[in-house]
Amino acid sequence: MADHIVDEMTVLETVRALEATDEPLSPREWSALEDRRLRETVNQRLARLGRQLIEVTSGAGGPVVGYLSGWSDQAASALQQDESDLAIEDLAVLSLVYLHITVLEGSFGEQVASFQEQLNAHQGPDGRDIISVDQLSESLRTLRARQLLDGRHRPGPALLRLSVAQRERLEENLVLLCRPDSTWASEIRAGRRPGRSLGGDP
């Protein structure tokens, strides 16, 4: 009985900390996160809030270095039907940053100049011209305020809160954006017919 009470207090304290924290919680310091059984209980409590426990790893497939909470896949599916408080220009800037930093630099190992430098050096018409200089500053400020970008205009800590399914979804969206006519993109669109838990575009 005493163990149960201790566990309940520990679970509640951990759930509250996960919902409040700005950085991943260390399992060495938050004992409930070190214990698989308690971790499952924490995740169940989070699910009641439309949230879920997110493992933060050291690199893709690396060891778990901490935990955060993020939207549950079911809640994310419902929330993405709501009107976003991000303008289409904000989303365009975020997509460009993600493409440059996470995909070109992170995944493909390309040496790329900073996002700001590339925009400043850009000449000639293409999709980026839809974002004016004033709008760009405003979008960067908005994205930083939501922690979608960090102070150096790189993908921000909010992206750590994506679940595996949400991250896969984001990567699929990049395929749809960059290779819309590919067989891969056709397969993705076919797989997104109604009935899947994460339907619709983010």
Partner 1 sequence: MSDSELAAAVALARARRNGLVAATGLPIAAMEREAEAAGRQLHVVVTADGEPVLVLGWSGSEPVASTQAPRLSRRRMTASMIKCLVVAWALLHDVGHPRSSVATEDVVRVLDRLTGRSSRTWAIPAVEDALPRVGLMESDRGRWRAGPAATTWDEQTREVMVGAVRRLHEHPGWREAAGG
Find out whether 149 and 155 touch, Cβ atoms under 8 Å.
yes
Our CB check for partner 1 shows the closer of 78 and 177 to be 78
| DSSP reduced 3-state for 94 | helix
* Cα-based torsion angle of the residue sequence 114, 117, 123, 127 in order, rounded to the nearest 10 degrees: 50
Structure-token pair, residue 133: 């200089």
From candidates 7, 13, 35, 55, binder to partner 1 by CB under 8 A = 13
The nearest distance, CB 42 to partner 1, in angstroms, is: 9
Find out whether 23 and 157 touch, Cβ atoms under 8 Å.
yes
From candidates 6, 64, 65, 79, binder to partner 1 by CB under 8 A = 79
The nearest distance, CB 38 to partner 1, in angstroms, is: 14
The nearest distance, CB 111 to partner 1, in angstroms, is: 32
The nearest distance, CB 109 to partner 1, in angstroms, is: 31
From candidates 4, 36, 37, 48, binder to partner 1 by CB under 8 A = 48
**Using the rule CB under 8 A, is 153 a contact of partner 1?**
no
| DSSP reduced 3-state for 55 | strand
What whole-number distance in Å separates Cα of residue 115 and Cα of residue 121? 10
The nearest distance, CB 48 to partner 1, in angstroms, is: 4
From candidates 19, 110, 117, 201, binder to partner 1 by CB under 8 A = 19
Instruction: Give the HSE-up count for residue 200: Cα atoms under 13 Å, Cβ half-sphere.
Output: 11
Structure-token pair, residue 105: 């630099």
Amino acid, single-letter form, for residue 63: P
**Using the rule CB under 8 A, is 64 a contact of partner 1?**
no
**If you search the block for the tokens 């290779």, which residue do you land on?**
179
Interacting residue ranges for partner 1, rule: CB under 8 A: 12-13, 15-17, 19-23, 25-26, 29-30, 45-51, 71-72, 74-75, 78-79, 82, 85, 141, 145, 147
